[in-house]
Structure 1
């Protein structure tokens, strides 16, 4: 198999940060420990998902603020923040604050659309304005304008000892260039490109009527569509996120459990799911040499030089440690990636 035309340049990982409802601190601390381990192993980035009203991280920005004080190099992302749950101005303030605290390491990803289980949560989330809320791209454009430093207020000046700014504070120069959009359809990819955003593409794409149900080819065309509409063209940043589980140092029990997990999720990869015709990628499990060969043959992977491997939702902390270690010391190097200079395990392969 010929090597990817885009050698792997950036390697990251993504987690939802599960926890026990009876002891939520322990789970959140475990997530922070994984982020610290990721930096030690030389990963370029770590990404947190939002899980509202679930036993997963509901406030990634707060967790990343804590992570910014325990790390010094690794980039800190959200993949993705659903804007339907957020006030764009307040979110812009929070992101600016964490970006300043992290020294400019924040990589915020976001998406649009109504909140999950909208009919069940609207009374708590927007009790007085549910009918007026816009969950489409206009909300995203308002958010983008605020992060970019456009006016949030018509007033600027001093009242007594209070000084007011027209734009969101703190304003962090460069943050707007590190915004990512999570897109699963070509129309979303087109919009993201036109906005000059970076693109997050995950293990879910929207199947296209009349085209073969080939996840990798659909993802590759989504990426090409994005770049055709982006001012930077082929240089526009894209990160791919698939579930990839290397087993090089796994115990036999771990290997069996990982394979069973992937097998249980296979049916959803065989046909489009739901009215939106969502097609899921198969989870990849195996030794790093085998996984590297499969990834180099993947049409979507061949379009990118950045990946954020998605960790499975329900594994144990020790499993994540094993997976991250194998990703950094085995699979990453097999794909041409090298850990950050000075990281633990740098140069191993």
Structure 2
């Protein structure tokens, strides 16, 4: 586990990849350009977020496939793939293929639970099996088994002129060690640790009250979850955790951009003051301002002080020029202020 003043070791970013529904190609091309820029700036990783039945990336596998051919070094991940939308065996095939094409750079992040707007989409997604589908941890265990190369069929051999494998192919031996679980509760953090996964923490946690710090302060709740994860992980204090706050440095931003960023953060601030909804979800405030000030805020953040790698989330609904400015300031101003060195 890093010391509170340890330098940031790995710097990444997360994008939702918005596009115009009437003309979707430019938005997808913009996403590809952002990741290419991230590689040029020295970022260690770039992550794509799923957005099903919305105007964001619905097929990260397809976009990552393109990125494997347009980048050479930067690691590529999903944060996160909701397994309720996926068949674990088919997803394992896609991930294995991506990892082979990328030369071992894929970091799949996954989560469990029913698909969002389940009652609206169940008839289209699982018309015959909706009531029988298991959206819990068993679905992750199935994916893990396939990625690790455990048998998926009872037959292997040659039939006629065709060769058959009893495991998912292509098999990429290092991929299982790069699987991440997106957790926001003590239970999910503990489960991920017990199963030897890496942990993705974001700007959302569950304020459960059971073993959590009192109150509605995001940072100590996130820190408690990170500690619980490492307590139950075979690697202990060395288990990997990546934090994913929304961070917007403004050093090179225009006055118009700064006003836009500050208005965005202000509109989202009320949801950070108390847990939201029956699930008691608590959101972290967006960090907007000069890199030096953001670095000070992060160094005082209980969750950040327990990690040495991050995947800062880009805000939704901004223009490509805004993302270029934000990524450039993160890589050239904020990262160095946190002790990070570009790859």
Normalised TM-score (structure 2)? 0.98
1:6 corresponding residue in structure 2: 6
| CA–CA separation in structure 1 for the residues paired with 2:139 and 2:246 | 30
Distance 2:237 2:143 in 1: 26
Name the counterpart of 2:300: 297
Counterpart in 2 of 1:16?
16
Count of residues in correspondence between the two structures:
338
The residue correspondences of 1:21-32 to structure 2 (distance < 5 A) are 21-32=21-32
Q: How far has the Cα of 1:5 moved from its partner?
A: 3.7
Q: Secondary structure at the match of 1:163?
A: strand
Structure 1 equivalent of residue 157 of structure 2: 157
Whether 1:286 aligns to 2:314 is: no
Residue 172 of structure 2 aligns to a residue in which SS?
coil
The whole-number CA distance in structure 1 between the counterparts of 2:135 and 2:208 is 24
C-alpha distance in 1, partners of 2:4/2:235? 21
- Secondary structure, aligned partner of 2:184: coil
Question: Structure 1: where are the runs of 5+ without partners?
Answer: 341-349
- Asked if the contact 1:284–1:291 (Cα under 8 Å) also holds between the matched residues in 2, the reply is yes
Correspondences of 1:139-150 after superposition (within 5 Å): 139-150=139-150
SS at match of 1:216: helix
**1:216-241: CA deviations, max 9, x gaps?**
00000100000000000000000000
Gaps of 5+ in 2: none
SS where residue 69 of structure 1 aligns? helix
Q: State the distance in 1 between where 2:78 and 2:214 align.
A: 31
Cα deviation, residue 61, structure 1: 1.2
Of the three residues 246, 254, 259, the one matched with 2:249 is 246
Q: CA deviation at 1:164?
A: 0.5
TM-score, length-scaled by structure 1: 0.96
Determine whether 1:335 maps to 2:335: no
CA contact (8 A) 1:6 1:304 kept: no
Structure 2 partner of 1:33: 33
* Deviation of 1:6 (Å): 3.3
Q: Is the 8 A contact 1:6 1:303 kept in 2?
A: no
* 2:268 match: 265
Q: What does 1:99-248 align with in structure 2 at a 5 Å threshold?
A: 99-209=99-209, 211-248=214-251
Give the Cα separation in 2 of the matches to 1:286 and 1:31. Answer: 24
